[in-house]
């Protein structure tokens, strides 16, 4: 009986769902422009996707020949931001600390664009033509082909709609680790007719379980309590863990949508750098370095 009680109470570390504090606003200036473009210039590349469409990507890498680990970042909606915006992000111009933080850790950092999906709720799996997930796969294939890259240590980070892209991507190709920042996994879970003010999410479990079954790497899921997408992200975590996937969910108090990236320069949106942003960033660095330990 004691053994049975122990087994019933035991939760694997990778199945953890943890609530963490946060909410204090910090000045972001100390965390950006810490690496000059003389030391790590921005490379602007255009990558051919499945149907011949070219998608933009901005790349920065450490000094030396490598091979280096890589973090590939997919931003939130809409797709089609263009090269200029990607360059400002990878340089930290908007105040976001994530990209340079990974560069300082010896990672190649790739900020990638993708086509604007229309409609965003259309099934990616059942699509007859190329989708924005195919754009993501094309970016990964390009990254793998670079001589300075360690192909066994390519990790992906998707935020909001980019998180839905990444959720599909890690089911199509084997990667080192995946980070989902407040992912809008609405299509991934087969959700239809959900209103953001509603806490009840009509998940299509047949669709969700099919998509979750394809996931091939450990996942770190980050979301804030002030983000309505927490209502979608919690069922993703619970269904993934039930399906035997290595998913850790960290919920930060007072985190707004996209708080994990800090300031991104979105017009008309309050996006301060929070203590939770930096805390989530350090958790992210540790996870990507050793995903099997989380």
Q: What tens digit of pLDDT does each residue of 147-164 get? A: 999 999 999 999 999 999
For the entire predicted model, the pTM comes to: 0.93
> Class assignment of domain 10-293?
alpha beta
Which tokens belong to 282?
């350090």
Instruction: Please state, for a pLDDT cut of 90, what percent of the chain lies above it.
Output: 84
Alpha-carbon gap, residue 155 to 44, rounded angstroms = 20
* Coil, strand or helix at 100: helix
HEC readout, 199-256: CCCCCCHHHHHHHHHCCCCCEEEEEECCCCCHHHHHHHHHHHHHCCCCEEEEEECCCC
Phi, psi of 187 (to 5 degrees): -65, -40
Mean pLDDT of the chain: 92
* Spatial distance between the Cα atoms of 254 and 223, rounded to a whole number of angstroms: 10
The three-class DSSP label of residue 178 is strand
| pLDDT at res. 1 | 33
Domain ranges of the chain: 10-293
Give the pLDDT of the chain (294 residues) as one tens digit per residue.
333 333 233 344 556 899 999 999 999 898 999 999 999 999 999 999 999 999 999 999 999 999 999 999 999 999 999 999 999 999 999 999 999 999 999 999 999 999 999 888 888 998 889 999 999 999 999 999 999 999 999 999 999 999 999 999 999 999 999 999 999 999 999 998 888 878 789 999 999 999 999 999 999 999 999 999 999 999 999 999 999 999 999 999 999 999 999 999 888 888 999 999 999 999 999 999 999 876
Nearest to 55, CA basis, from 81, 32, 29: 81
């Amino acid at each position: 009986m004691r053994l049975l009680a122990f087994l019933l109470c035991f939760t694997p570390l990778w199945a953890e769902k943890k609530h963490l504090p946060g909410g204090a606003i910090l000045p972001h200036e100390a965390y950006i422009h810490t690496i000059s473009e003389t030391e790590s210039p921005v490379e602007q590349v255009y990558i051919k996707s499945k149907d011949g469409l070219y998608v933009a990507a901005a790349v920065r890498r450490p000094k030396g020949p490598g091979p280096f680990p890589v973090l590939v970042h997919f931003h939130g909606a809409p797709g089609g931001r263009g090269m200029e915006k990607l360059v400002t992000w990878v340089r930290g111009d908007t105040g976001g600390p994530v990209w340079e933080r990974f560069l300082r850790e010896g990672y190649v950092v790739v900020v990638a664009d993708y086509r604007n999906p229309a409609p965003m709720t259309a099934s990616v799996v059942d699509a007859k033509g190329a989708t924005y997930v195919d754009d993501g796969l094309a970016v990964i294939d390009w990254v793998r082909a670079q001589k300075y890259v360690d192909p066994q240590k390519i990790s992906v980070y998707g935020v909001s709609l980019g998180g839905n892209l990444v959720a599909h991507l890690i089911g199509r190709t084997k990667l080192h680790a995946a980070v989902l920042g407040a992912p809008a996994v609405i299509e991934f879970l087969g959700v239809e007719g959900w209103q953001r003010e509603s806490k009840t999410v009509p998940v299509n479990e047949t669709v969700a379980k099919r998509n979750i079954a394809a996931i091939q790497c450990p996942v770190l899921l980050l979301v804030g309590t002030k983000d309505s997408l927490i209502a979608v992200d919690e069922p993703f975590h619970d269904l993934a863990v039930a399906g035997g996937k290595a998913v850790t969910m960290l919920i930060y108090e007072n985190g707004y949508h996209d708080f994990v990236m800090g300031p991104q320069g979105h017009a008309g949106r309050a996006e301060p750098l929070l203590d939770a942003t930096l805390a989530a960033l350090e958790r992210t660095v540790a996870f990507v370095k050793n995903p099997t330990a989380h």
